[in-house]
Amino acid sequence: MLVSYNWLQDFLNLDQDPHDLAEKITRTGVEIADVKHPEEGLKKLVVGKVLDCKGVEGTHLHLTHVDVGEDEPLQIVCGAPNVAAGELVIVALHGARIAGNEKIKKGKIRGMESYGMICGLQEIGFSDSVVPEEFVDGIYVFPEDADVKPGQDVYEALGMDDYILDFDITPNRADTLSMEGSAYEVGAIVDQKPKVEDVFLKEDGPDWTDSLDVKVDEKLAPKFYLRKLTGVKIQPSPLWMQRRLWNAGIRPINNVVDVTNYIMLLTGQPMHAYDAKTFSNGKLEVRLANKGEKLTLLNEKEVDLDPNDIVITDGEKPVMMAGVMGGLNSEITAETTDVILESAIFDPTLVRKAALRHANRTEASSRYEKGVNWDGTEKAINMAALLLRNDADATVDEGIIKATDTKRKPVVVKTTVSYINHVLGTEISAKDMIKIFDRLGFMVEHDGDNIAVHVPNRRWDIAIPADLVEEVGRIYGYDNLKSTQPLLAETHGGYSEKEEMMRRMKAIVEGQGLMEAISYSLTSPEKAVRYTKDPKDLVKVQMPLNSSRSAMRENLMTGLVDAASYNFARKQTQLALFEQGRVYDHDGGTFNEHEHLAALYSGNTFAENWQHLTQKVDFYFVKGQLTNLFTAIGIDLEKVVYKAEGIKGMHPTRTAAIYIDKQYVGMIGMIAHAVTLADKALRGSELYGYEINLDVIIPMLTKGMTATPAPKFPAIERDLSLLVNKDVTNQEVENVIKSNAGKYLTALKVIDVYEGSHIEVGKKSIAYSLTFLNRKDTLTDKVVNNAMDKIRAGLENDLDIKVR
Amino acid sequence: MDLFDKLKELHEQGLEEIKKATDEQTLNKVRVELVGRKGELTKILHSMRDVAPENRREVGQKVNELRDLFNKQLDATKAEIVKAVLVKKLEDEKIDVTLPGCEGHLGSKHPINVILDDLESYFIGMGYKVVQGPEIETDHYCFEMMNLPKDHPARDMQATFYIDSEDLLRTQTSGDQARVLEKHDFSKSPLKMVGPGKVYRRDDDDATHSHQFMQMEGLVVDKNVTMSDLKGTLEMIAKHVFGQDRATRLRPSYFPFTEPSVEMDVSCFNCDGKGCPICKYTGWIEVLGAGMVHPNVLENAGIDSTVYGGFAFGLGLDRFAILKYGIDDIRDFYTNDVRFLKQFRKEEN
Ligand SMILES: [Zn+2]
């Protein structure tokens, strides 16, 4: 709501700087988003009277002489189609500054001297949307009632000397969506009682209340008032009203439409005016629309009405979408003579939904949806009739048709002074508190600590004691509250154990040189299960923004591969990324969320350097990093098993599923060629990564540990060089070695793998280093030899391997 | 030639030989020749029987003097040679220390998590528990328990991703409040929690909107928690994040789950309150929303709102990061451009 500072002066005596007032209102009631002073930045704009005006042959230009209150009239060349002798216009003199900080200088146009410029409203800063239709494409011409003289500044006449406060209201403060409401609010803030006047209307026409059969569903419109005016002279509104309208962001149309808008601005009650001819069959009905009914609105859009839209009909067809916008078929036109005025309360939810449904939120609908003052219906309709009587020579017929007239009892909220102080942390006396309520215009019954606060209907946001706490708090001033810390029994802050462990793992991988990424949880249904070993039912959103963000991811890898693609497209191919976050599924009919950790590498293990001390990232590098992570969180590596398995999106022969204690915990491998080939940026690249399920791994971890001393006896190392069939895996060999090595084998390491021309086809050689240690005694060669013999025998028996 | 002449000659020759040696090997040879067991001096001692007895003492003395002299000179020359060798070795080993080092990759925390971690440790220090709730939330917890019944106009403000009529992607972390309130045993201790996490809104992504972002919810409930406590707490948070020299102000606002509701602004750190594009020429920047927990929220969770009360606040972590690091496009947080992420390597805490 754009609130005029000058208009507020009708209700209050304000003497503070409008910016200071705005700051005060912001801190106390409603945020003022902006204070505009329309004349700011403008210079040397005066009223001029066009003395003569003649067309310049062969051009659209006019040569004029304009009296600007100086000794000599100014010669001005003007291109506007509507310039004419006798008009009072806006003149930008030599040296003037108009909108957009543009400077006006005298000059020559087509060889003719021009000593200034005759302006349209847009040229001096008006928004297109508020300029009256007749002046949109030309210069502005002052109406007769403007009472301006040549040479005067134009600002006051056009309302540009005003300050416009933009009330950025929250939904609960719709009471300030009117000048009267704003005046109550500002009055409470500056401690003044606003002068809100009643209406004294003279009805001089006949009683009309029996001439129209009005049927209203009370649930749809609990209050529905109508008045009739005859002999209406349709013409522009007086300038003072136009000024107030355009300063509030509303375009003046004609006196009838303007009055309905003006009353809405003044009281907050949306109004509507129908051409009385609309109801010439003597019927008016308020009902829900029927399926299949259509209505062409004032904005000339035809809408298919929904059975939940409230409509006003002429007994047959809809003529208005209630609370939202009128129909073209009941519009006020230049030919209108008789007018029916409507002032009503409609169901807020139905109006809100209708406005949303038809993408047509209006000044009226936005007020209805937030609520309007139930006590303002009659005043609004009478005030509108009064203004039309004055400005449109209308005759007001006697009586109001009150088709429905549900009364709303003002709320009485009972609470205590001490409760309010308790919540605020203040020590405001009962006397001061009652004074605050008095500033707000709330009557209080007071008995010791107990208070009963009578809340007028204009403040329908207040219903419970907590609402009164807010009123007292804000008028007392949040600036005046103390700043304290809660005085409570001691509490122990911290993370959950699971969270602690996740944080530790993140710290480890970060230390390994990985950068943390955060990706979107929503992805495409296909990507959501790519890189997932056993996809579960997807979590899909209704009405996604687009199909590539329609399903919740079941793995993190997809986000990291997207990130890789984004970076590769920008020539960033050295990547080491990780993400720790949730994946989601709908397995077994419940929504499940699991914490995962994933990493993705590409490029080199070290930054490229002049010593060439780096190598390309490969499966084993990534596996080594993961092994370090497992070691660092205390996972027994003996229990970790890698099995070559196929996983969608992963390289079929370079991918392993990872098991700990036979439980699937994640996967590691290379991103499939099928994926990288399909992505222009990633084509030909090798990406390796892993993803592990922390919800499975974390419960396996133990907290705390006992240290064992460093060994006191020397260990014995032996090497073992084997020639094995190519399809025998390291895992298989290690299993045999371990099961035959006896209890003193403490470490088993692969020290070399060779496949190639120096050995027979179909074979590979693997060399191991074995470490034996007896923690309690010195190991003898005999014991170790014995173990080695057993290992050799085992390898020969189980895997047919010859030791070289 | 008598021995004295011989000694004299040896004296001169010996010193000359020692002087000529430039490596340890030659020097050792000289040492053997001069002072070795079969060296010149020994030879002279052996020829003592040819010396007149009255001169023997003098010859013996001279030989010893000469041996001492040679040894001294040999040691000195050896030291010189060793030194020269070392100097040569060091010269050979010289490297260009200005060549670059071999860098590994440096990890980094995501900027939003830098902010989050900092806030979490701050709140933990003040006795808050960090609580995590589900992102796939029910209408019941996300809205109804939070005093947002169906058809509440405020629901339009939050475009929601629904999964079905009852389940949705949470639009706010407030659902965590309801879940914790239901479970907490107030007879044992006051409730102090923060709940960080991802939230989702049905907004098209652009520079200032993201369909996914991070929030942190805070909640303190007990018998004597006041709005002054809320003010003090919020001021501490704002100053902790944005600097001790920031001015703050509370403005009345509206949230369905708090009453009274407020928003906090801090004085613009770009223009210090004078007005600039970042603060839209107001001098203030909105940083958070808060309020006293609405009685309905407490009652919905089975808590007697006439006995217990407290405050809640909501922090937008993306917004904090945007303000703190001068970021002008929220999408930068989610495209994971390493050139962007890299900068936050220094922001570890
Ligand atoms: Zn600023």
Q: Residue A601: name the closest of A577, A619, A620 by CA.
A: A577
- Residue A337 corresponds to which tokens in the numbers above? 């003579």
Separation of CA A187 and ligand 1 centre (Å):
30
Long-range contacts of A684-687 (CB under 8 A, 24+ apart): A685/A564, A685/A568, A685/A573, A685/A602, A686/A602, A686/A616, A686/A617, A686/A618, A687/A561, A687/A564, A687/A575, A687/A600, A687/A601, A687/A602
With bands split at pLDDT 50, 70 and 90, how would you rate the model's confidence at A405? very high
Regarding whether A429 and A386 lie in a shared domain, the answer is no
Report the relative pairing of strands A164-168 and A688-693 from DSSP bridges. Answer: unpaired
**CA distances, A708 to each of A635, A712, A713, B166, B270 (Å):** 17, 11, 14, 55, 57
Q: Within this chain, do residues A24 and A53 fall inside the same structural domain, yes or no?
A: no
- Cα→Cα distances A317→A293, A351, B235, Å: 8, 19, 59
Strand A763-772 versus strand A716-725 pairing type = antiparallel
The verdict on a CB contact (< 8 Å) between B341 and A511 is no
Question: A736 near A703, Cβ under 8 Å?
Answer: no
- Both B175 and B116 in one domain: the answer is yes
User: A171 pLDDT band (50/70/90 cuts)?
Assistant: confident
Round the average pLDDT of chain A to a whole number and report it.
Answer: 95
SS3 A172: helix
Q: Which of A489, A491, A545 sits opposite B211 (nearest CB)?
A: A545
Which of B34, B57, B92 marks a domain boundary?
A: B92
Nearest alpha carbon to residue A648 among A674, A622, A620: A674
Residue B51 confidence (pLDDT) above 90: no
What crossing angle do the helices spanning A377-391 and A255-267 adopt, rounded to 10°?
Answer: 140
DSSP character at residue A161: T
Does residue A576 sit at the B interface (CB-CB below 8 Å)?
yes
d(CA A185, CA A27): 12
A491 part of a folded domain: no
Q: Is residue A362 part of a domain?
A: yes
Average pLDDT, chain B: 91
A114 CB within 8 Å of a chain B CB: no
d(CA A24, CA A477): 10
Does residue B259 have a known ligand-binding role? yes
- Which residues from A are below 8 Å from B275, CB to CB? none
Residues of chain A contacting residue B202, judged by C-beta atoms under 8 Å apart: 543, 545
- In the block, which residue shows the tokens 């020590």? A427
What is d(CA A290, CA A303) in angstroms, rounded to the nearest whole number? 13
Say yes or no: A538 contacts chain B, CB-CB below 8 A.
Answer: no
Instruction: Record the pTM.
Output: 0.87
Nearest-angstrom CA–CA distance, A361 and A323 = 10
CB A592 within 8 Å of CB B83: no
Which run of H or E residues covers position A419? Answer: helix A417-424
Q: pLDDT confidence of B169, banded at 50, 70, 90?
A: very high
pLDDT grade for A604, boundaries at 50, 70 and 90: very high
**CA distance, residue B325 to nearest chain A CA (Å):** 17
Domain span holding position A433: 411-479
Looking at the structure, tell me whether residues B117 and B84 fall in a common domain.
no
Q: Is the pLDDT of residue B119 over 80?
A: yes
Quote the ipTM score. 0.88
Coil, strand or helix at A155: coil
In the Cβ-directed half-sphere of A517, how many Cα atoms lie within 13 Å? Answer: 31
Integer angstrom CA distances of residue A70 from A113, A144, A152, A649: 18, 22, 11, 84
Distance CA B233, CA B333 (A): 28
Q: Mark yes or no for CB contact A521/B125 under 8 Å.
A: no
Beta-carbon separation of B153 and A488 below 8 A: no
The predicted pLDDT at position A632 comes to 95
Task: List, for residues A635-650, the tens digit of each pLDDT value.
Answer: 999 999 999 999 999 9
CB atoms inside a 10 Å sphere around CB B157: 13
On whether both B336 and B298 belong to a single domain, the answer is yes
The torsion angles phi and psi of A416, rounded to 5 degrees, stand at -130, 155
Using the beta-carbon criterion (under 8 Å), do B338 and A515 form an inter-chain contact? Answer: yes
Domain identity same for B34 and B123 = no
Which residue range is the domain that position B28 belongs to?
A: 3-92
Domains in chain B, number: 2
Specify the pLDDT at position B156.
63
CB A238 within 8 A of CB A391: yes
Same domain? For A454 and A559 the reply is no
Q: How high is the pLDDT of residue A703?
A: 80
Residues A684 and A536 in one domain: yes
Residue B338, pLDDT score: 95
Which of A496, A511, A516 is facing B110, going by the closest CB pair?
Answer: A516
Task: Give which of A357, A414, A484 to mutate to test B binding, by max B Cβ within 10 Å.
Answer: A484
Q: B63, B92, B121: which is the final residue of a domain?
A: B92
Give the model's pLDDT for residue B276.
Answer: 87
Q: Considering the domain boundaries, does residue A208 fall inside one?
A: no
* Residue A339 in domain: yes
Measured in Å, residue B247 CA sits from the centre of ligand 1 at 13
What is the least distance, in Å, from the CA of B255 to any CA of chain A? 9
Residues of B in Cβ contact (< 8 Å) with A613: 102
Nearest to B265 by CA among B278, B248, B281: B248
| 8-state DSSP, B230 | H
Q: Is the model's pLDDT at A317 over the cut of 80?
A: yes
> Is there a single domain that holds both residue A551 and residue A604?
yes
Of B112, B127, B167, the CB nearest to A518: B112
Chain A nearest CA to B146, separation (Å)? 15
d(CA B320, CA B118): 12
Domain boundary among A405, A436, A468: A405
A639 in a domain, yes or no?
Answer: yes
* A106 and A138 co-located in one domain: yes
Same domain, A110 and A257: no
pLDDT at B157 > cutoff 70: no
Using one digit for the tens of pLDDT, what is the confidence trace for A42-69? 999 999 999 999 999 889 999 999 999 9
Q: Which of B210, B228, B305 to mutate to test the interface with A (most CBs of A within 10 A)?
A: B228
Q: How far apart are the C-alpha atoms of A793 and A781, rounded to whole Å?
A: 18
Using DSSP bridges, classify how beta strands A88-98 and A102-104 pair: parallel, antiparallel or unpaired: antiparallel
Tell me, yes or no, whether B221 and B170 share the same domain: yes
Residue B296 lies in a domain: yes
Residue A633 contacts residue A701 (beta carbons within 8 Å):
yes
Q: Are residues A671 and A723 in the same domain?
A: no
Is residue B179 a part of any domain in this protein? yes
Same domain, yes or no, for A262 and A349? Answer: yes
Q: Does residue B25 share a domain with residue B173?
A: no
Asked, for residue A453, whether it belongs to a domain, the answer is yes
Q: A585 phi and psi, to 5 degrees?
A: -150, 175
Are residues A61 and A19 part of one domain?
A: no
Q: Are A359 and A381 in contact (CB under 8 A)?
A: no
Query: Checking phi first, is residue B278 left (phi over 0); if not, alpha (psi -120 to 50) or beta?
Result: alpha
Q: What is the Cα–Cα distance from A702 to A410, expressed in whole angstroms?
A: 64
The phi and psi torsions of A751 (rounded to 5 degrees) equal -110, -15
**What pLDDT band is residue B4 in, cutting at 50, 70 and 90?**
confident
Is the model more confident about A402 or about A611? A402
Same domain, B126 and B36: no
The residue among B92, B120, B141 that closes a domain is B92
Of A489, A496, A541, the CB nearest to B169: A541
Residue A544, Cβ neighbours under 10 Å: how many? 17
A471 φ, ψ (degrees, to nearest 5): -60, -45
Q: Please give the distance, rounded to the nearest whole angstrom, from the Cα atom of residue A176 to the centre of ligand 1.
A: 28
Taking alpha carbons only, the member of A44, A38, A54 closest to residue A2 is A38
Instruction: Give the separation between CA B87 and CA A103, rounded to whole angstroms.
Output: 80
Tens-digit pLDDT profile for residues A340-387: 999 999 999 999 999 999 989 999 999 999 899 999 999 999 999 999
Q: Tell me how far the alpha carbon of residue A411 is from its chain's centroid.
A: 34
pLDDT digits (tens, 9 = 90+) for A122-168: 999 999 999 999 999 999 999 988 999 999 999 999 999 999 999 99
B80 and B117 in a single domain? The answer is: no
User: Lowest-pLDDT range, A13-27, A83-97, A403-417, B165-179?
Assistant: B165-179
Q: In this structure, are A755 and A652 located in the same domain? A: no
Domain-embedded: residue B105: no
Answer whether residue B151 is part of any domain: yes
Q: According to the model, what pLDDT value does residue B348 have?
A: 60
Q: H or E stretch including A2?
A: strand A2-4
CB-CB under 8 Å, A522 with B162: no
Gap between the Cα atoms of A798 and A781, Å rounded: 25
**Domain annotation covers residue B97:** no
**Subunit contact B231:A567, Cβ cutoff 8 A:** no
* Lowest model confidence (mean pLDDT) among A107-111, A533-537, B222-226: A107-111
Give B282 Cα–ligand 1 centroid separation in angstroms. Answer: 7
Provide the chain A residues 766-795 that lie in CB contact (below 8 A) with chain B: none
Which residue in A481, A520, A567 is closest to B228 by CB distance? A481
SS3 of A182, please? helix
Say if the Cβ atoms of B129 and A494 lie within 8 Å. yes
- Type of residue found at A284: L
The answer to whether A470 contacts chain B (CB < 8 Å) is yes
Asked whether the beta carbons of A314 and A284 are under 8 A apart, the reply is: yes
Same domain, A612 and A732: no
Greatest CA separation for chain A: 129
Tally of structural domains, chain A: 6
Q: Which chain A residue has its CA at the smallest distance from B231's CA? A: A483
d(CA B249, CA B226): 17
Q: What is the model's pLDDT at position B1?
A: 56
CA torsion, ordered A617, A619, A620, A623, to nearest 10 deg: 110
Best of B204, B259, B279, B343 to mutate (most A CBs within 10 Å, chain A): B259
Distance (Å, rounded) from C-alpha A172 to C-alpha A369? 11
Report the distance separating Cα B60 and Cα B71, nearest Å.
16
A134 annotated as belonging to a binding site for a ligand: no
- The reply to whether B218 falls in a domain is yes
Q: Look at residues A555, A596, A784 and name the one whose alpha carbon lies nearest to residue A696.
A: A596
User: In a 3-state reduction of DSSP, which class is residue B66?
Assistant: helix
Which residues of chain B lie closer than 8 angstroms to A491, CB-CB? 127-129, 189-190, 192
Alpha helix stretches (DSSP H) within A80-213: 179-190
Q: Are residues B145 and B263 in the same domain?
A: yes
**Residue A534: its pLDDT value, please?**
95
For position A101, which CATH number holds? 2.40.50.140
pLDDT tens by residue, A554-564:
999 999 999 99
Domain membership of residue A324 (yes or no) is yes
Tell me, yes or no, if A337 comes closer than 8 A to chain B by beta carbon.
no
In sequence order, the β-bridge partners of residue A5 are: none
Task: Indicate whether B156 belongs to any domain.
Answer: yes
By Cβ distance, the residue of B154, B190, B259 closest to A171 is: B154
Mean pLDDT value of segment A326-331: 94
Instruction: Tell me how far apart the alpha carbons of residues B262 and B275 are, in angstroms, rounded to a whole number.
Output: 22
Q: Do residue B226 and residue B150 come from a single domain?
A: yes
How sure is the predictor about B47, in pLDDT bands with cuts at 50, 70 and 90?
Answer: confident
For residue range A505-541, list pLDDT tens digits in order: 999 999 999 999 999 999 999 999 999 999 999 999 9
Nearest C-alpha neighbor of B309 from the set B285, B289, B292, B291: B292
CATH code assigned at B148: 3.30.930.10
pLDDT of B150 strictly over 70: yes
- Is residue A153, in this structure, part of any structural domain at all? no
A467 in contact with B at a CB cutoff of 8 Å? yes
**CB-CB neighbours of A781 under 10 Å:** 10
pLDDT mean over A26-44: 94
Is the pLDDT confidence value at B158 over 70? no
CA distances (Å), A9 to each of A12, A162, A186, A244, in order? 5, 11, 11, 13
Asked whether residue B88 falls in the same domain as residue B121, the answer is: no
Note the pLDDT of residue A705: 80
Asked if A542's CB is within 8 angstroms of B164's CB, the reply is: yes
A466 to chain B: which residues are within 8 Å by CB? 259-260, 292, 294-295
Question: Rounded to whole angstroms, how far apart are CA atoms A737 and A757?
Answer: 27
B86 to chain A, closest Cα gap in Å: 27
- Shortest distance between the Cα of B261 and any Cα of chain A, in A, equals 8
- Co-location of B135 and B58 in the same domain: no
Residue B45 lies in a domain: yes
Nearest beta carbon to residue B211 from set A479, A549, A606? A549
Domain with residue A317: its CATH number is 3.50.40.10
